[in-house]
Amino acid sequence: MDFDHPPLDPVPVCEQWFAEAWERSGLPNPNAMMLATVSPSGAPSARTVLLKGFDARGAVFYTNSESRKGGELLATGRAALLFHWDAMGRQLRIEGAVSRVSDEESDAYFASRRRESRLGAWASQQSRPCGSRSELESAYRDQEVRFEGEDVSRPPHWFGFRVALEHLEFWRDGDARLHDRVVYDRGDNGDWSVQRLWP
CA distance 133 to 139: 10
Tell me if 27 contacts ligand FMN by CB under 6 A. Answer: no
Query: In sequence order, which ranges of the chain are alpha helices (DSSP H)?
Result: 11-24, 68-76, 103-112, 115-123, 133-146
177, 181, 186, 196: which one is catalytic?
177
Tell me if 69 contacts ligand FMN by CB under 6 A. Answer: yes
Tell me if 154 contacts ligand FMN by CB under 6 A. Answer: no
* Range in contact with ligand FMN (rule: CB under 6 A) among 48-56, 99-107, 143-151, 171-179: 48-56
CA distance 97 to 171: 22
Tell me if 54 contacts ligand FMN by CB under 6 A. Answer: no
**For residue 117, how far is the Cα from the chain centroid?**
18
Tell me if 76 contacts ligand FMN by CB under 6 A. Answer: no
- Closer to ligand FMN at the Cβ: 68 or 172? 68
Question: How many separate helices (H) and strands (E) can be counted in the chain?
Answer: 5, 10
Cα-based angle 40, 59, 113 (whole degrees, multiple of 5): 105
**Using CB under 6 A, which of 7, 66, 68, 136 touches ligand FMN?**
68
Q: Residues binding ligand FMN: what is the number (CB under 6 A)?
A: 16
Phi, psi of 169 (to 5 degrees): -135, 130
Tell me if 50 contacts ligand FMN by CB under 6 A. Answer: yes
Tell me if 63 contacts ligand FMN by CB under 6 A. Answer: yes
- Closer to ligand FMN at the Cβ: 113 or 172? 113
What does the H/E/C string look like for 30-80? CCEEEEEEECCCCCEEEEEEECCEEECCEEEEEEECCCHHHHHHHHHCEEE
Q: How far is the CB of 114 from ligand FMN (least distance, A)?
A: 14
Active site residue 177: yes
**Using CB under 6 A, which of 105, 120, 127, 166 touches ligand FMN?**
127
Active site residues: 177
Summarize as ranges the residues that interact with ligand FMN (CB under 6 A). Answer: 29, 32, 45, 47-50, 61-64, 67-69, 126-127
